[in-house]
A and B are shown apart, each in its own frame.
Chain A
């Protein structure tokens, strides 16, 4: 319970800071919208069938790029202002810092996605607003934030962090993104839940594996 309270304290702190500056939300949202606009112009998607084929990939590319932007800032802001040391000095199991930052990142990404899905629907004419897709988006984003937060903490200690994070993150997060695209395509194709269940199960597996790996390794990542 005490552990949970400290995680929530970190989430509360991140939300207050973000509400005050809106730096992360605006950067992620604008970037994701730009990605959608560029794809929209580049492929001149007009036919319904072609849109359906491309839509899951475009959606997750936009989410991934926006997520990388958010993750880059998550620990860099802590590191640049020396605040990460303040967190690590507190009598808190360091994994609480990981879970706090992961939940904040997840929340910010989900909020961006909540605004992004209607924009995507408007641009591509594909209705993304249904409950099964929401489930896919939540599971995919959770896996992405899980591994991304760990790698963000790792790369924040390096000089080339902005470059290093996507280079490390994209290959590691690739399974999550592939399963998320497959599940999204299944939902858009109107497949029954049983047909997309295996992709959802794989997403759930990665949603558990990544935080578990972080739980075991985070202390080594953040300590010199």
Chain B
């Protein structure tokens, strides 16, 4: 079952919290972003702008810096230099407010195995101060088809069920920006199909989406812009309608030196 996504509009922000993304404003704007881990430089002056409602797929081989970039945008990592603005807010100064606007799906479920689905979602609802959390949790568990297993510990779930709950957790607070870091990793066919359905709904909604993958076919499926990150730099970027899969394969080979 494909879970229906919430409205797609940025949640209305209570006083003192991040406002919804204004129309016409870049949802994400990174300038001269660098990140070094000791002597290893993961990002080398990345400039990236993602418009509101845009679906950007970020391709790149392993070690290109995709996950590092996603982690910086999600405020899980601090850039060595450069700036990131999310929804017009400086990530360095307003990280707590920015995080309200972000949902992350990665190959880690970010769920507690010893808690039930219900308890996991209730816990995150408290952290996000969600109003009417119980009704929201009921609805979202229904959407991902886990209502009948909501009181079972997550560690008893199959991989596909965990992935569905991961998606429920990521969209629970109705984020304006979705970051998907290699979400297909380790998924069986059924779970991958379900995730594809979710991505289609995200693409159809007004959310800003960044998807990272090294699989060209999966990545091109729904995006309206693509970029290639190689050795910490954006090596190429362009509109989806300007390139087909074969053309993309050629560009990818030229930029990364790999097929």
Contact = CB atoms under 8 A, between A and B. Distances in A.
Main secondary structure of the interface of A (DSSP, over half): helix
Given A88-B76, A89-B99, A81 B126 contact: no
A90 interface: yes
Nearest to A12: B123
B110 interface: yes
Contact of B126 (A9, A16, A93, A223): A9
A198 interface: no
B110 A86 contact: yes
Interface string A5-22: 110010011001100110
A161 to B, nearest CB: 18
A16 B119 CA distance: 9
Nearest to B79: A224
Contacts, number: 80
A117 B127 CA distance: 36
| Residue from B123, B128, B129 having most chain A Cβ neighbours under 10 A | B123
A86 B128 contact: no
Interface string A75-104: 000000111011111111100000000000
B100 A91 contact: yes
A17 B114 contact: yes
A157 to B, nearest CB: 12
Interface in B157-208: 169
A2 interface: yes
B108 A17 contact: no
B56 interface: no
B99 A91 contact: yes
Contacts of A82: 106, 108-110
Given A83-B110, A93-B96, 7 more contacts: A16-B115, A81-B113, A86-B169, A91-B128, A92-B96, A224-B37, A224-B77
6 contacts: A81-B108, A85-B106, A223-B76, A223-B78, A224-B76, A224-B78
Interface of B: 17, 37, 71, 74-78, 96-97, 99-100, 102, 104, 106, 108-115, 119, 123-124, 126-129, 153, 169
